[in-house]
């Protein structure tokens, strides 16, 4: 098959999906390690059998609901290329708001020791270490498979992050200047109604319990024992969870609570301090 025939096969398979032409071109370009312009110009170039088979498999997987980031094992976060697979949540650009705010805080207050809970792919911890060379950062996750992905990313990007397998604080020792978490926060009842591609991400990284707030309660309560005086606790939240999360923090004695919105104008992060 040539490039044109490959694309026509993909177009027919995905014709009922939005933006299907660009999806097919991007997938074939990724396999052939070419850019999109090359694909559009060299329509009659032959494609080797192995690449044709891989293209067809990738198109089929996408058709069945696998996110394109898993298919390509690639996502982008804070200007970094992050390896992802089905064991980790795909990093979203909205989470960059959280990282950017933490970078400002660390620079302003000269913070050193940071803990990233529920690290997943390691995107938050790795990008913080990349752009804040003088910090010490520990990242934990309950999933050993997720930690394998995170370690791979740290090695690939060339940063020194200590990874610990831990159910929240169970295996964590010491105190920190700042604790950050993008925990599971989707209501259990909502998960079956999510987009098919989102449902193909690990349920462990999505399920926040009955009201989506289980992890905020647990982390807020326990974090007080692991924060230095006037240490920061920083969360990503669901778009409709700001008031509930702020109430949880107030009930646990946190102060200087504030939130920020994401690029879409939705409440996305909550920051606070603990003065205990």
CA distance 248 to 243: 9
Q: Which of 219, 183, 168 is nearest to 89 (CA)?
A: 183
163 within 8 A of 150, measured Cβ to Cβ: yes
Q: What is the mean pLDDT of the chain?
A: 93
Among 82, 93, 33, 30, residue whose Cα is nearest residue 57? 30
- CATH for 85-274, options being 3.40.50.300, 3.40.50.740, 3.40.50.150, 3.50.50.60: 3.40.50.150
Longest dimension (CA), the chain: 69
Chain-centroid distance of CA 7 in Å reads 30
pLDDT in tens, 8-42: 999 999 999 889 999 999 999 999 999 989 888 88
Distance CA 241, CA 213 (A): 8
Per-residue pLDDT reduced to its tens digit, 109-157:
999 999 999 999 999 999 999 999 899 999 999 999 999 999 999 999 9
If we measure between CA atoms, which residue out of 130, 229, 127 comes closest to residue 180? 127
d(CA 143, CA 167): 9
pTM: 0.92
What residue spans define the domains of the chain?
A: 3-64, 85-274
Report the Cα–Cα distance between both ends of the chain, in Å, rounded: 67
Residue 276: predicted pLDDT: 60
User: How does DSSP classify residue 212?
Assistant: S
The answer to whether residues 161 and 153 touch, using CB atoms and an 8 Å cutoff, is: no
């Amino acid at each position: 098959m040539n490039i044109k025939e490959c694309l026509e096969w993909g177009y027919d398979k995905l014709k009922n999906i939005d933006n299907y032409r660009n999806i097919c071109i991007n997938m074939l370009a990724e396999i052939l390690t070419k850019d999109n312009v090359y694909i559009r110009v060299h329509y009659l170039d032959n494609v080797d059998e192995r690449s044709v088979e891989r293209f067809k498999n990738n198109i089929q997987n996408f058709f069945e609901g696998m996110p394109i980031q898993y298919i390509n094992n690639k996502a982008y976060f804070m200007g970094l290329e992050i390896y992802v697979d089905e064991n980790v949540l795909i990093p979203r650009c909205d989470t960059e708001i959280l990282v950017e705010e933490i970078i400002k805080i660390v620079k302003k207050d000269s913070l050193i020791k940071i803990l990233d809970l529920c690290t997943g792919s390691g995107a938050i911890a790795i990008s913080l270490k990349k752009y804040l060379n003088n910090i010490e950062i520990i990242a934990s996750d309950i999933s050993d498979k997720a930690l394998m992905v995170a370690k791979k990313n740290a090695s690939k990007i060339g940063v020194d992050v200590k990874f610990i397998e831990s159910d929240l604080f169970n295996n964590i020792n010491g105190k920190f200047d700042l604790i950050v978490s993008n925990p599971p926060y989707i209501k259990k009842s909502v998960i079956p109604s999510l987009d098919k591609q989102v449902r193909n991400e690990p349920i462990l990284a999505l399920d926040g319990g009955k009201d989506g707030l289980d992890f905020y309660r647990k982390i807020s309560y326990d974090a007080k024992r692991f924060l230095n005086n006037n240490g920061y606790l920083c969360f990503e939240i669901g778009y409709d969870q700001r008031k509930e999360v702020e109430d949880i923090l107030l009930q646990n004695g946190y102060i200087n609570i504030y939130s920020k919105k994401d690029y879409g104008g939705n409440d996305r992060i909550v920051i606070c301090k603990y003065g205990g």
